Structure formats: C-alpha cells, structure tokens
Structure 1
Amino acid sequence: MADTPQRPIIVKRKKVISGGSHGGAWKIAYADFVTAMMAFFLLMWLLGSVDGSTRGGIAEYFKTPLKVSLSGNSTLGESAIILHGGGKDLTKTSGQANNKVPAQPSKDFDLKNAKELMEREEMIKMRAMKNKLDALIDSDHKLQPYRKQLLIDVSSEGLRIQIVDESNRPMFGLSSAELESRARDILRELAPTLNSMPNKISLSGHTDAKPFAQGSKTYSNWELSSDRAHDARRVLVEGGMDESRLMRVIGLSSSVLLDEQDPLNPINRRISIILLNRRAEESAINEGRRQIAPPLN
C-alpha cells in the first residue's frame, strides 16, 4: 500500500465581540422615544398657552392649509406668532420698552351682535302683536265703528296704539278731561288684549296746538293732556288691565303732533298707548334712577 500523503490541518478561529444581549440598537430607539415625548409635551404646553380662538385657527390651518393661505383670512391672530405666556420678550430691544398690548378676544363685538339679534327678534314679535290687534279690531263688532280712530304701528319704542279724535266723533268734550262714552268703550275693549301681552305700557295724552279755551297761568294744555291720560288710565284699569303693567302716564300737550302740517287737525288730539320694547323699557327705568357722577380726580 502506497503511503497516503497527509493533509494539513487548518484551524479557523472566529473573533467574537461582546455587545450585550441586543447590542447598541436599543439606545437609538430609546433616544427617538425620548425626543418624541419631549416634542409632544412641548406641543401640549404651546396649545395651553394660547386662547380658544387661536387654537381654532391652528386647527383650521392644518385642515385646509392651502385655503387659508390663499384667502388670507387667517384666524391665528398675533398669539400664533408671539406667545405672551412668559420668558423674555423677544420683540424688546436693549434700552427700549415694548408697549404693545397683547391681542385679546373682543367681547364688545359679540355683545353688539347679540343685542342686534335680540332687537330683530323683538321687532318680529311686535309685528305679530300688531297683526293680532288688527285682527281683533276687524272681528269685534264693538270696535269696528271706531276703526278709523285706531292707528296701530310699530315705532322705535315699541307697538303703538293711538286713539285719535274725529271731527264728528271727539274722544273728549271741549276743554274737558273726561272721556266720551264711545272712547270709554274703545279702551274697555282694548284692556283685556293689552293685559294678555307681556310688555310694559306707556300712556300719554296729547292735544292740538289750539290754546286752552279757559287757559290761565295755572291750567293749560299741559295739564289738560295729563288729566286726559290719567282718565284713560282709570278706564283701562276698569276694563281689566293690570295697573302694575303701566310704566309711565304723562301729558305731552301739543309737543308731539301727529299732523305737523296742520297743528289744529283733530287727529292731533289723541291718547297714545305704547307697548314698550326692551330698549325703551330700560330707558324709562334709567330715567327714574338717581344718576351719581363719578368723582373728579
């Protein structure tokens, strides 16, 4: 047997580097996690430092960024650029003071809108009450003969009902403060309807521009118009109207003419009943309150 040549023995040695169970990859992942958490808490702090309107603007921007950019109506406001929460004011240079007042949400504008909305709603109610009164007069056989003497409209103070004189159907006797029987019938028929409406009432008496027939320095058209207004008040209360509904009873003589072109027109002699709107009612209340001027500094 021939001698078999002996093969050389090759020994392979593998170099092993110890790196823990997972090496160093977990450190990178942990660093990313910590960075993300810091960014999250920073975002929460920023959102907590701005008001609700600014947060709404930020949300709107991220929903439709292109629309907001093109329209130019960004609602982000000043606080989206500079946060006034604390820290150093970056808009202040050395030796200067920033007197700029931070933007604040305007409450006056919202209050004005609310008042305008309330006045519009009240105007709608006043017109509805006018239609109700018109329907009542047209359906009541006792009031139909006096339809021309009843003027109903909506004024700046509220729903106004005016009972006017006619040349052949005067409400009062000449120079008298006592109502005629037909005028009493009108007021008694109106009393329950007025009592069913929630508004406060202003009652005023008016005369024409003709001087009082028996005028003197102590009694004139001013006293006559006031006495006629109070007589109308008594008849309304007798007809069922709640007297606590009355806000004021006044005589205006001929200072407020219905027909300014003809001051002697019988239509100027009238009783005016106004269902006051909210603004007129507040004005009447403030007239009776004592106004104290603030002290001078």
Structure 2
Amino acid sequence: MAENKSIIIKKIKKGHSAAHGGAWKVAYADFMTAMMAFFLLMWLLSMVVPEKRAGVEQYFKEFSLFDKQNALDVRQGGAMIPDKEKPPVPQRDELTGAAKEGSLAIQPVQIQQKIRAAVNVNLPEVKDQIFVDVTEAGVRIQLVYDEKNPMFAKGSPELTASGRKALQIIGDQLRPLPNKVVVEGHTDSINYSGGKYTNWELSTQRASSARVAMEQGGMTEDRLARVSGYAATQPLFPDDPTDGRNRRISVLVMNYVAPEGGRGLQEALGAEGQVKPKQPNIAEELNATIEQMLSAEGRTGVPAKPGDKPAAPKGGHKP
C-alpha cells in the first residue's frame, strides 16, 4: 500500500516586484518620442539658410524704442536703472569696408518695427495714417492725409501739430542709423484756384517742411539723399487721382550705406519708384521652408535644401 501512495508536489509562485512590471516601458517610450521630436527640430533648424535664421531671430527680438539718451531724459530726477549693455551703433567713420560699399546697416524689418512701435506709443491718434512697408529699395514710410487729422494745413506747406510731432518721432528713430534718406512730397490732382502754390510747388515745399521736422527730431542733414516734390504724378490710388489720401509725405530709408562720392546712389534712387511695397512675414517663410523640406523628404527620402528664394509672402499692406 505504501508503494502506491501518490506524491503531491506543491510549487509556490512568487510574485514579481513593481520593478518587473510594464509601466516603465510607457515612460521610456514617451522619453524616446520627445527626444526624437527634439532632434528632428534641431535637424530642421540646421537646414535653414543663415539669412532666414537671422530673420527668425530678428522677428522674436525685443526692440528698444528709444536709445539710452532718451531713456535718461525720461528718468530725470532719479537714479538710472542699469540696462543690459548693447553694442554701440557704428558711426560712419567706424563702419567696415563692406558697409561703406553699400551693405545693409540694419535689417529693414527692424526699422519697420521700430517706426511702427514708436508711433503707436507716442502718437496713437495718427497710427492709422502712417504706413511702413519694406521694398527692394529700403523701408518706405508714408504719412497719408486724413480729413479728421491732416498733416498739413489745407493748400499750405505748414505742418499741423500732429504732423510735426509724427515727423519728429520718425527723425528720432532714424537718427542712429547710417542709411541715406529720401523725402518726397505728393498731392492729389485737384488744383486750388487762385492759390499761392501750384501742386508742384506745394509738394516740394511740403517735402522740405517734413525734412525740417525730421531734423528737429534728431536726424542730421548729411543723411539726406534727396528732397523732392512730385505733385500728382505718382498717386497712391491711380484709379482715383482726386482721392485725398494721395496727399502724403513719403520717407524712404535706403537699404544701404551710401559710399563716398555717392557711387550707386542714382541707380538705387531711379529704381525705387517702380518697386511695389511688400511686407514679408518671417514666420510664414520659415513654415513654408519646413513644409517644403518635409514634403521632399517624404517623396525621395532625402532632406530637401531650401531654395534661394523664400516663399512669397501674402499681399503687402495697402492703406
């Protein structure tokens, strides 16, 4: 009987600790996904051409509306709060040879944003009358007539208080730049009967009055490349030459530092009148470049190089 006795073997299964579970795999997968996204972003940024990268940096950069001298004037009577050191603005005699031969002094987008911000802060009532566009010739600032808030007295080259202040603000913002400046006066096609001025004289003298106001704001006389009047020959609205908004002052900040003797100045001045205003959007250009690289990679498996020309921005600002 003893030989036929059943033998029962009990095996006790020990439970694993929490470390042997599967939760760590989820965390690890999240970490690897984040790392992959990070390195993919770094790779995409490394494929962007230096010019676009500089444009993106400029887009997110905080601009100073006023220089240190203006900041001291605001803080009169108290201790000056130390600011972060900024590189000094190069003077004409300190410019590098490349700059003297016609390279950009600063980015046109920076000038555009500085002017807009300064007007919005100091003279918000005329901000809708001032249009700033980037053209191939430089940054064009246009002060357009408005019946509720005119820049000049009717039929006169005399500036109103708001017009003078607006031009002084523009002169102050352009003061530290080495770029040459062109000031132009324009009128509509309406002739004032028995008036003291024809449209030619009126537009020319208004341009001169604008020049004086900008010099009062701090811009020096040697910065001027040309001051001229065009009467009604270059209307802002060609379909309606009698539109009052054709009366305007146009200030062109040229996109290069004029060399000694003015070499190349006439070529730039002659071409700028035919340039259509455009307002580039750096963020849109970067997105278009990234989409272009991703779509090319999906077709060929090879990352695409961005083209020399950025994606065309949407239509320019129209007043």
Name the TM-score, length of structure 2 as normaliser: 0.47
Structural mapping, 1:71-220, within 5 Å? 122=104, 125-138=107-120, 140=121, 142-214=122-194, 219-220=197-198
Unaligned runs of 5+ in 1: 1-114, 289-297
1:151-173 CA-partner distances (Å, limit 9, x unpaired): 10012321000111102111112
Asked if the contact 2:105–2:257 (Cα under 8 Å) also holds between the matched residues in 1, the reply is no
Offset of residue 287 of structure 1: 9.6
- 1:273 aligned onto 2:254: no
1:54-103 CA-partner distances (Å, limit 9, x unpaired): xxxxxxxxxxxxxxxxxxxxxxxxxxxxxxxxxxxxxxxxxxxxxxxxxx
CA change 1:277–1:213 in 2 (3 A) is farther
Offset of residue 181 of structure 1: 1.2
**Structure with the larger RCO, 1 or 2 (CA within 8 Å, 6+ apart):** 2
Distance 2:169 2:267 in 1: 32
Asked if the contact 1:175–1:213 (Cα under 8 Å) also holds between the matched residues in 2, the reply is no
Asked if the contact 1:157–1:279 (Cα under 8 Å) also holds between the matched residues in 2, the reply is no
Offset of residue 279 of structure 1: 9.4
Distance 2:264 2:203 in 1: 23
Distance 1:184 1:123 in 2: 27
Amino acid at match of 1:193: Q
Distance 2:239 2:105 in 1: 29
- 1:245 aligned onto 2:226: no
RMSD, aligned CA: 2.9
Amino acid at match of 2:186: H
Amino acid at match of 1:183: G
Asked if the contact 1:203–1:233 (Cα under 8 Å) also holds between the matched residues in 2, the reply is yes
What SS does structure 2 have at the residue aligned with 1:230? helix
CA change 1:253–1:135 in 2 (3 A) is same
Corresponding residue number in structure 1 for 2:207: 229
Offset of residue 188 of structure 1: 1.4
The 4+ residue runs of structure 1 with deviation greater than 6 A are: none
CA change 1:210–1:133 in 2 (3 A) is same
Q: Count residues in correspondence.
A: 167
CA change 1:283–1:220 in 2 (3 A) is farther
Distance 2:219 2:257 in 1: 23
- 1:255 aligned onto 2:233: yes
Tell me the percent identity: 35
Unaligned runs of 5+ in 2: 1-97, 270-319
Distance 1:169 1:283 in 2: 38
1:233-288 CA-partner distances (Å, limit 9, x unpaired): 11111221111101110001011111112111121101111101239975435699
Name the TM-score, length of structure 1 as normaliser: 0.51
Amino acid at match of 1:284: L
Offset of residue 122 of structure 1: 4.3
CA change 1:279–1:122 in 2 (3 A) is closer
Distance 1:214 1:207 in 2: 17
CA change 1:231–1:124 in 2 (3 A) is closer
